Amino acid sequence: MILLTNEDVEPLLTMPDCIEAIEAAFCDLGNSDAVDIPRQDAIVPIAREGAIHDLKTMSGSWPKAGMAAIRLNSDIVTGPIVNGMPRRGKIPLSEPGGRYNGAVLLFSTDTGQLLAMINDGIMQRARVGATSGVAAKYLAPSGAKTLGLLGTGFQAGGQLEAICAVRPFDTIRIYSPTKENRMRFAAYFAANLGRDVCAVGSAEEAVEGADVLVTATNSVSPTVKPEWLKPGMHLSSINRTELGPAVFTKIDRLVVNAREGGRSYTARNAPSIGGFNQGDRNSHTGIADVSKVPELKDMVSGKVPGRQSGSELTCFHNYQGLGLQFAAIGAIVYREALKRNIGLKLDDRYFTQDVHP
């Protein structure tokens, strides 16, 4: 069994490889050749005022890669106000020095054995970004030249890398409320992507003339105004609260990552934190009837079409994580770790047993 940290994982992943794996896994899911089990949240109150403990799990199995994955998080979550707007944030309280708790367990579908235990942070960013990249491959205008990005956090970087991997943008405009953050983000990605990436002073400036608009924030209120949307544009989001009902009335072709949400099981007296649907994660903010909306697996497997004309206003609402994504990214991580002899190898006897469980 191999133990891998985020530092081990980062050099093993490239965005094109992740996009290819995610597309293949979703294609198999669409053809019923793979399985996904929706996210589950167990939410309880804690002594810290205004905070909760969230035990989160999601899982999936991808036989073609011989890989099954469980993603597990133990999070302390709060709802801070940032720049006058509510957000959902995690507090790093674990020792040493304040750290987060999240892991992916990879199992062989051939033997059942635990193959690897991996920090989930870098994999999480890769799977969310790559999924948006797959959707953009099918939905974004083929000649897209200008990208507008709202957000400069950890996930926003993965979104930018993925969308740029499938479309040849000349101009990328970045906005987030904190000037220092957007300036630093733009400078970093201008150097790393070799593109014209500039920070702008308002969301409206980022959106102006954009062929593709990506919102990648932890805001618990809408970040996109319906009047910003124009024919031929592609819109992509990663958070169920970023797009309000009025946005969806303008969309010509909407695709979601998954229709079936997980569930939040909440103990009595747990404070309500924005961004969680405390009772039922099947609630899709702003979408009148999600049962009629195609899923990404349907589009990738050819059951429904992608963009059909240059004037279509398309949208990918990538708010619902799938455990199968971790099996897809995990297959890359495990393969490359073995090839490069990376990670801490532990005796398999500690992770198997001769007692029938």
Q: What is the pLDDT of residues 211-243, one digit of tens each?
A: 999 999 988 889 999 999 999 999 999 988 899
- Picking from 162, 139, 166, 142, the residue whose alpha carbon sits closest to that of residue 317 is 139
pLDDT on residue 272 = 85
DSSP-assigned states of every residue in 113-168: -EEEEEESHHHHHHHHHHHHHHHHHHHS-TT--EEEEE--SHHHHHHHHHHHHHS-
DSSP 8-state code for residue 281: T
Q: What's the rounded mean pLDDT across residues 44-67?
A: 97
Q: What is the pLDDT of residue 208?
A: 96
Measured CA to CA, the distance from residue 162 to residue 318 in angstroms comes to: 13
pLDDT in tens, 182-207: 999 999 999 999 999 999 999 999 99
Mean pLDDT of 88-110: 95
Taking CA atoms, 332 is separated from 44, 298, 319, 339, in Å, by 35, 24, 23, 11
- Whether 318 contacts 236, CB under 8 Å: yes
For the chain, the farthest-separated pair of C-alpha atoms sits apart, in whole angstroms, at 63
Bridge partners of 339?
A: none
pLDDT on residue 275:
59
Q: What are phi and psi of 135, to 5 degrees?
A: -60, -40
- pLDDT tens sequence across 144-154: 999 999 999 99
- Going through 238-306 in order, the beta strands assigned E by DSSP cover 253-256, 263-266
Q: So what's the pLDDT on residue 146?
A: 98
* pTM score: 0.94
Rounded CA-CA distance 176/150 in Å is 6
pLDDT digits (tens, 9 = 90+) for 268-321: 999 988 655 434 444 556 787 888 899 999 999 999 999 999 999 999 999 889
Residue 155 confidence (pLDDT) above 50? yes
Contact 189, 195 (CB under 8 A): yes
The whole-number pLDDT of residue 279 equals 42
pLDDT value of position 87: 77
Element of type H or E holding 54: strand 51-62
Find the angle CA(78)-CA(84)-CA(86) to the nearest 5 degrees: 30
User: Is residue 75 within 8 Å of 101, Cβ to Cβ?
Assistant: yes
Q: What angle do CA 72, 78, 82 make, to 5 degrees?
A: 125
Average pLDDT over residues 19-42: 97
* Cβ neighbours of 285 (radius 10 Å): 17
Backbone angles phi, psi at 313, to 5 degrees: -95, 110
Query: Looking at residue 14, what is its pLDDT?
Result: 98
**Interatomic CA distance for residues 37 and 201, integer angstroms:** 41
Q: Is 346 helix (H, G, I), strand (E, B) or coil?
A: coil
